[in-house]
Structure 1
Amino acid sequence: MTKDNKPNSIDALTGKPMPKPIPASTLVIFRDQPGRTAPDLLMVERSAKMAFAAGAAVFPGGRVDDADYDFARTLGHQDVEEFGARIAAIRESIEETGIAVAVEGDLAARRIAEARDALHDGTILSEICGQFDWALQLDKLVPFTRWCPPFAEKRVFDTRFYMVSHDDHDAEATVDETENYNLFWSSAQGVLDKAEAGDVKIIFPTKRNLERLAQFGSYAEAAEHSGLHPVTMVSPTIEKRDDGVHLCIPEGIGYPITSEPMDAVQRGFSK
């Protein structure tokens, strides 16, 4: 973790300079389940052909585009990096899952499908919002965490994670058939159990985040917890211990498990 909330500039393994990280944004979409002890989260499984986190189950998200920053400026936000990332999280959710969150306006399935098709065709979100009379409710996104790897992977992302509640159980999530080949709703513990059984693959940051999210019985609990743990940059470190080499994250920032043996780690550090 860096004190100035910026990514590391030196590779933790090789000591060589790190490439400039790509800004990215990820959205943890909650759907509370009445009568159950844990909410469902929306997960997408990435295509095995992807260069980054191939075949892994992750939260919806992707890189922040220049148009996202431009949209944030147009909306009058001073912290363009923060609100550009929130806009990207909403956009990526529509593109990858067909679910529109933190959007006010006509959200009929037909309209969302039109927006999704337009995004895939290259139309920017600000134009779509203007055409459809949509207003983004960016304050509904709760900052959760921020991760950047200390290793020079094929893709190095500086990823901001947000949480949002979406209790429209009739809204159908569907794969985009480009980056992702499957998606599913599950509790955080359910995803961990699937990974333990070998039914899905999860990378190190996703596993740590799922363990943290598995502590909560509702979206409100998770949001309250996040308010008690301000976002800091998580950049894992390598520690040699008596039982071998471990990949570790800092204590005291909300994670119940903060290390894992390196030989068990699934690499790839974006979502």
Structure 2
Amino acid sequence: MSDREKRIPATPVPAATILMLRDGDKGLEVFMVVRHHQIDFASGALVFPGGKVASSDADVRSQCTGVDGLDDGELGLRVGAIREAFEECGILLARPADSSELIDGKRLEGLEHYRKPLADGDMTIKEFLDAENLILACETLHHFAHWVTPMMMPKRFDTHFYLALAPDDHLALHDGHESVDSIWIDPQQALDEAAAGTRTVIFPTRLNIELLAQSKSSASAIEDTDNRTIVSVEPWVESREDGKFLCIPKEAGYLISEEKMP
């Protein structure tokens, strides 16, 4: 047995990501970013905005709506997803404390300068909400998927994926640091470009895009995920006579449950 095989598996780090949706001229579109080539996870890949949950993300329960019944872990995931979306693509699912409406594009422009200190860890989400008297609209998130990085990987993430409808007047734009490009894209187009080799799309992202592509509009995508049982996915490798296969649970509902490895 090798040293790699003997090592204790890394503990998965809680993470959250948002599939931000809108309806384009031809139907459903999702916002995706290209990871910086110097990032040590999925560098250069087309991914959904997201990242690690901060320990302080669960400190804002009183400044959130739609969190009744959630424990601190679940709360932190939803807050982390909203925070990461703001940091990485500039969309903020929040409302003024004295309003029932989400902030508009004009108010959002005035919050742009907070993205970098939040991303750099120089400001917590609570400090940001306090400064601007904002409430996070956690009820706008719809739980879409749950993936855990396989045990054999040196870096592991326990990632929850959410769907959210992008406000019409929020301009989505990559941050230029963790992500170097961004695009609103038809899910099928993303799959076609990955198959053609013009985009890099890692296994979990591809399967989630395939699942999203089964819906034709943002409304149907949200309805479909609200009616689906979310099954946790932690891929594993099976060695067979004809090679090694990367496998996931069939009951997770993806288009495939195994794939032969190169």
Aligned mate of 2:48, from 39, 46, 59: 59
CA distance in 1, matches of 2:258, 2:94: 34
CA distance in 1, matches of 2:38, 2:51: 16
Name the residue aligned to 2:74.
82
Name the residue aligned to 1:161.
161
Query: What is the TM-score when the length of structure 1 is the normalising length?
Result: 0.84
Q: Which runs of 4+ in 1 moved over 4 A?
A: 73-78
Query: What is the TM-score when the length of structure 2 is the normalising length?
Result: 0.86
Name the residue aligned to 1:23.
14
**Secondary structure of the corresponding residue to residue 88 of structure 1:** helix
**Secondary structure of the corresponding residue to residue 232 of structure 1:** coil
TM-aligned CA deviation for residue 251 of structure 1:
1.3
Kept in 1, the 8 Å contact 2:13–2:158? The answer is yes
TM-aligned CA deviation for residue 130 of structure 1:
2.1
TM-aligned CA deviation for residue 102 of structure 1:
4.8
Name the residue aligned to 2:86.
94
TM-aligned CA deviation for residue 237 of structure 1:
2.1
Name the residue aligned to 1:126.
126
Kept in 2, the 8 Å contact 1:72–1:87? The answer is no
CA distance in 2, matches of 1:181, 1:163: 22
CA distance in 1, matches of 2:228, 2:6: 31
CA distance in 2, matches of 1:106, 1:244: 53
Aligned mate of 2:39, from 30, 36, 50: 50
**Is 1:220 matched with 2:219?**
yes
Name the residue aligned to 2:191.
192
Kept in 2, the 8 Å contact 1:27–1:89? The answer is yes
- CA RMSD in angstroms comes to 2.2
| Amino acid corresponding to residue 103 of structure 2 in structure 1 | G
Query: How many aligned positions are there?
Result: 248
CA distance in 2, matches of 1:112, 1:259: 44
TM-aligned CA deviation for residue 23 of structure 1:
0.5
Name the residue aligned to 2:177.
178
Deviating more after overlay: 72-81 vs 141-150: 72-81
TM-aligned CA deviation for residue 21 of structure 1:
0.8
| Amino acid corresponding to residue 143 of structure 2 in structure 1 | P
Kept in 2, the 8 Å contact 1:72–1:84? The answer is no
Identical columns (%): 36
TM-aligned CA deviation for residue 106 of structure 1:
5.2
CA distance in 2, matches of 1:67, 1:48: 28
Name the residue aligned to 1:112.
111
TM-aligned CA deviation for residue 188 of structure 1:
1.0
